[in-house]
């Protein structure tokens, strides 16, 4: 079974997105942490050292791309997957350049999330 006891950080200002993702991930036995903006995301990453991060882009305080950059500065090996409505080429390219492991366009499908946290997934 994929993702047993993985620590996952969800960073999204949307209560709905966090709720849906939490339910899905907890069903997969993941330990879930949440952040509602980019600043919280950076702090939560340092505090919990998650195995994987799902990061929105359009967020208050600092956006997801800046949070990605700061987390990568702190931990180059951090596995961060962008989950955003703004999936233009420019944004995807920027995210990948900053070290994002993957980019999932909203609305996401459950299978995309399940696949993303699968241990065999290596990009």
Partner 1 sequence: MFDQYFGQYLLNNGILTAKQLRDALEQEQFTKAKLGVLAINTGFMTAEQVEEVHHLQRTIDKRFGEIAVAKGYLAQDKVEYLLAEQKNNALSLSQVIIDKGYLNFSQLETALSDFKKKNQITSEFDMSQALQLLETGVSDMYLDYAALFLRSITRFLDDIPLVDIKLIRSLKMHDVDSVKGWMVSQDITGSSDLFTGIVLEDAAFLELARRFSEEELQTIDSLAQDSVSEFLNVHNGIFLLNMSNRGINLDLEVPKITSKVSCKPGEGWYIPIELSFGTIGLIVNKKKI
Q: Where along the sequence are the contacts to partner 1 (CB under 8 A)?
A: 13-17, 19, 58-60, 84-90, 92-93, 96-97, 100-107, 112, 115, 121, 123
Q: Which of 101, 108, 62 is nearest to 85 (CA)?
A: 108
> Would you say 54 or 103 has its CB closer to partner 1?
103
Residue pair 81/95 in contact (Cβ under 8 Å)? The answer is: no
> Would you say 33 or 103 has its CB closer to partner 1?
103
- Least Å distance, CB 102 to partner 1, is 6
- Least Å distance, CB 88 to partner 1, is 4
Rg (CA), the chain: 13
CA 100 to CA 82: how far, in whole Å? 7
- Least Å distance, CB 114 to partner 1, is 11
> Would you say 26 or 47 has its CB closer to partner 1?
26
- Least Å distance, CB 63 to partner 1, is 9
Q: Which of 57, 59, 55 is nearest to 79 (CA)?
A: 55
> Would you say 74 or 97 has its CB closer to partner 1?
97
Angle between helices 64-74 and 38-48 (to 10 degrees): 30
Which residues pair with residue 80 across a beta bridge?
53
């Amino acid at each position: 079974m994929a993702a047993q006891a993985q620590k996952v950080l969800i960073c999204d200002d949307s209560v709905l997105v966090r709720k849906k993702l939490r339910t899905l991930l907890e069903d997969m036995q993941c330990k879930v942490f949440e952040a509602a903006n980019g600043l919280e995301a950076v702090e939560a990453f340092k505090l919990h050292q998650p195995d994987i991060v799902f990061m929105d882009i359009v967020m208050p305080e600092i956006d997801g791309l800046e949070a990605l950059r700061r987390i990568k500065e702190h931990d180059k090996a951090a596995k961060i997957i962008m989950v955003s409505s703004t999936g233009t080429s420019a944004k995807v390219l920027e995210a990948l350049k900053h070290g994002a492991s993957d980019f999932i366009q909203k609305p996401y499908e459950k299978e995309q999330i399940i696949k993303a946290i699968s241990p065999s997934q290596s990009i």
